[in-house]
Amino acid sequence: MKTIAKILAATALLLTTSLTTHAKINVVATLPDFAALASEIGGDKVDVTVLAKPTEDPHFVDARPSFVVKLRQADVLIDGGAELEIGWLPPLLQNARNPKIEAGKPGRVEASEGIRLMEVPATLTRAAGDVHAMGNPHFMVDPIIAKAVAQHIANSFAAVDPPNAAAYQANYKKFEATINAKLQDWGAKLLPFKGQSLVAYHNSWVYFAHRFGFDISVFLEPKPGIPPSPSHLAEVIAQMKAQKIKAIIVEPYHNRKIAEKVAEATGAKVVDFAQFPGALPNTETYVELIDALVNRLGAALQ
């Protein structure tokens, strides 16, 4: 009984301290791109915790028990939705028991909400590999979409933390202006290469391609999520030679050696791309990431 009393006392103490020290709102982002936007919008008024690492496959993150604790303490959760984290987020949310971040609450930002997803499959069959029933969820590499997500985040923060609402909206305006200005820069840099075809390891660049006018429809994976086979790679090499494709986009968690072999056979360059800030050197912010992507691609296509 004494130990129980002690535990209860300790708990009460913890609860009160957590109440008094939490002036900032606790934001949990499933992926580093959402976290980067949350930091832009929240500034010093929020604490941002990110679950996945920038270098790992966002579809297959371990549902670590420590994530339950982070979600339990969250005031706001930002996730991609559209089945992006379907393999690991639902059991975490089930265990976290945090009504503040339930779907539909102001504390829940499902980034894909309000985004018109591309590549919504007409029929659902897993014979097509890893299909996303609701469309391709790798939308954050389109800066125009990132603006919409940022505003969604600003609205959520404003609803959860009304005293700082103006600051969040101001930060959003700032972010919007930055992106609008940067878009001119990015667009100009990639303009000379518009219409070119690129090869990607995995089909996660459709939004980037759409925004900057590239055609990315040849992939090292025969089907999404299915590892490259020698026969498929032979086809890819033939297509690359025929179309004179000059760049192969790989992400940190892909098998770079395969891309290098194909590059060797075709004279194309391997371009290290990433969807997430932090995965490439000096890309802590969203703008830095897109900067890096644009510069890397520009350099490779030069």
Partner 1 sequence: MKKISIAAACICTQAALLAQEPAATPPNDIEALRQQVQALTETVKTLQQQVKDQQDALAKMNAMPSTLPANENRATTPEPNASPPPLFPTTDESLVATAPPTATSPAGVTTTSQFPTTDASVTTSSETISSSGTGASLTAPVTIAGGGKTYMNISFDGVFSLAYSSDRDLAHLETGDHDPQQRGFNARNAEIALDGAVDPYFEGFANIVLKLDNDNETEIELEEAFLQTTDLPWGLQVKGGQFFAAFGRINPTHPHTWDFADDPLVHGRLLGSDGLRGVGAQISWIVPVSWYSQIIFAAQNGRGNTGYSFRNPGNNGVFFGRLTTDREVRGLEDFVWLPRWENSIDLSSTQVVLAGLSGAFGSNETGANSRTQIYGADLLYKWKSPRAEGGFPFVKWQSEAMYRRFEAGRGVDQTFPVSETFHDWGMYSQVIWGFKKGWTAGVRGDYLHMQDSAFTDDDARQSRSRVSGDLTWYPTEFSKIRLQYNHDFLEANDFLAEREADSIFLQFEFILGAHGAHKF
Contact positions with partner 1 (CB under 8 A) in 140-159 = 142, 144-145, 147-148, 151-152, 155
For partner 1, the binding residue among 32, 80, 135, 278 (CB under 8 A) is 135
- Nearest CA to 292 out of 279, 283, 301, 302 is that of 283
Least distance between partner 1 and beta carbon 240 (Å): 21
- Residue 236's SS3 state is helix
For 294, the 3-state DSSP assignment is: helix
Among 8, 9, 14, 299, binds partner 1 (CB under 8 A): 14
CB-wise, 14 or 238, nearer to partner 1? Answer: 14
In whole angstroms, how close is the CB of 238 to partner 1 at the nearest point? Answer: 24
> What token pair was written down for 254?
């892909």
Among 129, 162, 192, 267, the residue binding partner 1 under the rule CB under 8 A is: 129
Do 153 and 41 form a contact (C-beta atoms < 8 A)? yes
Contact set for partner 1, span 241-300 (CB under 8 A) = 252-255
CA atoms within 13 A on the CB side of 123: 4
> What is the smallest separation between the CB atom of 272 and partner 1, expressed in angstroms?
12
Angle at alpha carbon of residue 203, lines to 202 and 206, rounded to 5°: 145
133 binds partner 1, rule: CB under 8 A? yes
| Enclosing H/E stretch for 271 | strand 269-272
Cβ distance 81 to 112 under 8 Å? yes
Q: Which one, 10 or 238, has the nearer CB to partner 1?
A: 10
Site for partner 1 in 30-89 (CB under 8 A): 53, 55-57, 59-60, 62-66, 68-69, 72, 82-83, 86-89
Cβ neighbours, 10 Å, residue 62:
11
Minimum CB separation from partner 1 for residue 247, in Å? 17
Q: Which residues contact 258 (CB under 8 A, 6 or more apart)?
A: 201, 220, 228, 233
Q: Do residues 30 and 92 lie in contact, with contact meaning Cβ atoms separated by under 8 Å?
A: no
What's the distance, CA 40 to chain centroid?
15
Taking CB under 8 A as the rule, does residue 22 contact partner 1? no
Interacting residue with partner 1 among 91, 162, 192, 267 (CB under 8 A): 91
Q: Which of 20, 184, 231, 302 binds partner 1 (CB under 8 A)?
A: 184
Nearer to partner 1, 89 or 241 (CB): 89
60 vs 244 by CB, closer to partner 1: 60
Residues in 185-244 at the binding interface with partner 1, rule: CB under 8 A: 186-188, 191, 194-195, 207, 210-213, 225-227
Min dist. Cβ of residue 77 to partner 1 (A): 15
Nearer to partner 1, 128 or 238 (CB): 128
Instruction: Note whether 106 binds partner 1 by CB under 8 A.
Output: no
Residue 29: what are its φ and ψ, rounded to 5°? -115, 135
Complex with partner 1: residue 62 or 235, whichever CB lies closer: 62
With residue 149 as reference, give the H or E element that holds it.
helix 143-160
Residue 278: exposure state from Cβ atoms within 10 A (0-12, 13-18, ≥19): buried
Q: Least distance (Å) from partner 1 to the CB of residue 25?
A: 18
